[in-house]
Amino acid sequence: MTKRTVSRRTLFAGGAATVGVVGGFAAAQAFEGDDQTTSGTASYAFRGAHQSGIVTPAQDRLHFAAFDVTTDSREELIALLQEWTEAAERMMKGGSAGPIGPTEGDSRLPPDDTGEAIGLPPSRLTITFGFGPSLFRDGKGRDRFGIADRKPDVLEDLPHFPADALDPAKSRGDLCIQACADDPQVAVHAIRNLARIGFGTVSVRWSQLGFGRTSSTSTSQETPRNLFGFKDGTANVKAEESSAVKEHVWVGQDDDPKSVWLAGGSYLAARRINMRIETWDRQSLSDQEDLIGRTKDSGAPLSGGDEFSEPDLDLPGRDGPVIPVDSHVAMVHPSANGGARMLRRGYNFVDGNDPLGGLDAGLFFIAFVRDPAEQFIPLQTQMAKSDAMMEYLKFTGSALFAVPPGIGRGEYVGQALFT
């Protein structure tokens, strides 16, 4: 198949693209370009061993989208992944290369770029793609693209956890794109253009905007705060922990005979968590700290020390352990979950008000793991059953995607799956 270029005539005639797997990669911390004096002018390499947007230092803004594939043609899917590769690489470079196509031309046709990011710097944009379980076999059991026998065993829709109140319109998807940047307009531009290119071949199933990252992926970053006002993700796997990243994040060559194509990639678990902010705000400081298991000021565990001190879950207090056994820290600590860790890239969201006048706000939780069946599902199950903080949380969206490895020179996103 010949590689198609992104053009308005292709789109006008019904050509499109879908989503796959892209990014900058495992050299995810390597920059391109000479001017790296500010985060606005910095850009990440597109091609490499791993996709960008995983171990990359977390940016401040997110636009996440899940898509349904509307074609049954394997050839169209592959051709569209090629177009997405070209477009994503241009947008990550930013600057004069940022627009994915010319904006001049025949005025009777739609322009080749939506235009809202023209002239803006790359703002450390990363674009990360994933494949959902339904891409391999849809809801009717059909193997539309001849890849069902290559679906990893652990790539299944996340189970319905206790206390879930999932909205089907904000869950699952054939494909996903995570666009992160320091400028919200740059992140929105990326999703908007990829969705535009995909018109006729994919449709947006749901999307989520996020601000104020709620976790750090590098030791160079301070731990941010979530909308409850507490530091979040202190024990998150950091990019500099090379052995931990290898053990807990990247899929291994021998993990599953059917997922050799995924080696060097990861799994992305997404959970939309509404926070009952108004109720939380009426709790005393001591109750809030007991529910979390950390101090609100410094983020130190209630057992003492500083933010990064290991919590002593057995330290006795007046009425039991100093860190309550049902606190969030006690429930999700690796020692309570078989040593499992994950790399988190969550974001705050505020989507206006709900029908009762409360804030539709919370945490869009994203975690990258090597094995969701071992690292993610047991932890979520335990948290849903026993975590005292669940009284203030409502899980409204859920999805799992396989995130393929990086893209080599001349390759397109997800190529190894189709060859």
Environment class of 78 (CB within 10 Å of its CB; exposed 0-12, middle 13-18, buried 19+): buried
**Cα four-point dihedral sign 414, 368, 193, 189:** negative
Whether 74 contacts 80, CB under 8 Å: no
Q: Diameter of the chain by CA atoms?
A: 76
Same domain, 280 and 211: no
> What is the C-alpha to C-alpha distance for residues 64 and 363, in angstroms, rounded to an integer?
13
Per-residue pLDDT of the chain (419 residues; tens, 9 = 90+): 443 444 433 333 333 333 333 333 333 344 443 334 455 779 999 999 999 999 999 999 999 999 999 999 999 999 999 999 999 999 999 866 677 777 777 888 888 889 999 889 999 999 999 999 999 999 999 999 999 999 999 999 999 999 899 999 999 999 999 999 999 999 999 999 999 999 999 999 999 999 999 888 998 898 899 999 999 888 889 999 999 999 999 999 999 999 999 999 999 999 999 999 999 999 999 999 999 999 999 999 999 999 999 999 999 988 899 999 999 999 998 888 888 899 999 999 999 998 888 999 999 999 999 999 999 999 999 999 999 999 999 999 999 999 999 999 999 999 999 99
Same domain, 80 and 222: yes
C-alpha distances out from residue 257 to 133, 374, 375, Å: 17, 18, 20
Same domain, 236 and 300: no
Query: How many domains are there within the chain?
Result: 2
Token pair in block for residue 160: 């319905």
The predicted pLDDT at position 309 comes to 94
Q: Could you give the residue ranges of the DSSP H alpha helices within 306-419? A: 328-332, 372-375, 377-386, 415-418
- Tell me the residue range of the domain where 136 lies: 17-250+401-418
- Is 7 a member of any domain? no
Same domain, 392 and 407: no
The predicted pLDDT at position 96 comes to 64
Provide the 3-class DSSP secondary structure of residue 16.
Answer: coil
Same domain, 284 and 329: yes
Token pair in block for residue 404: 């393929």
Q: Which residues contact 2 (CB under 8 A, 6 or more apart)?
A: none
Same domain, 226 and 308: no
Token pair in block for residue 33: 């370009």
- Is 370 a member of any domain? yes
Same domain, 243 and 303: no
- Is 297 a member of any domain? yes
> What is the C-alpha to C-alpha distance for residues 320 and 316, in angstroms, rounded to an integer?
6
Query: What one-character DSSP code corresponds to residue 123?
Result: T
C-alpha distances out from residue 167 to 9, 244, 391, 398, Å: 37, 34, 19, 9
Same domain, 181 and 301: no
Residue 230 Rama label (left phi>0; alpha psi -120 to 50; beta): beta
Same domain, 311 and 214: no
Token pair in block for residue 195: 């969705």
- Is 295 a member of any domain? yes
> What is the C-alpha to C-alpha distance for residues 156 and 159, in angstroms, rounded to an integer?
8
User: For the CA atoms of the chain, what is the radius of gyration?
Assistant: 21
Residue by residue, DSSP assigns 194-245 as HHHHTBTTEEEEEEEEEEEESS-SSTTS---B-TTSSB--TT---TT-HHHH
Same domain, 202 and 92: yes
> What is the C-alpha to C-alpha distance for residues 114 and 192, in angstroms, rounded to an integer?
8
Cα 383 from chain centroid (whole Å): 20
- Is 260 a member of any domain? no
The predicted pLDDT at position 39 comes to 57
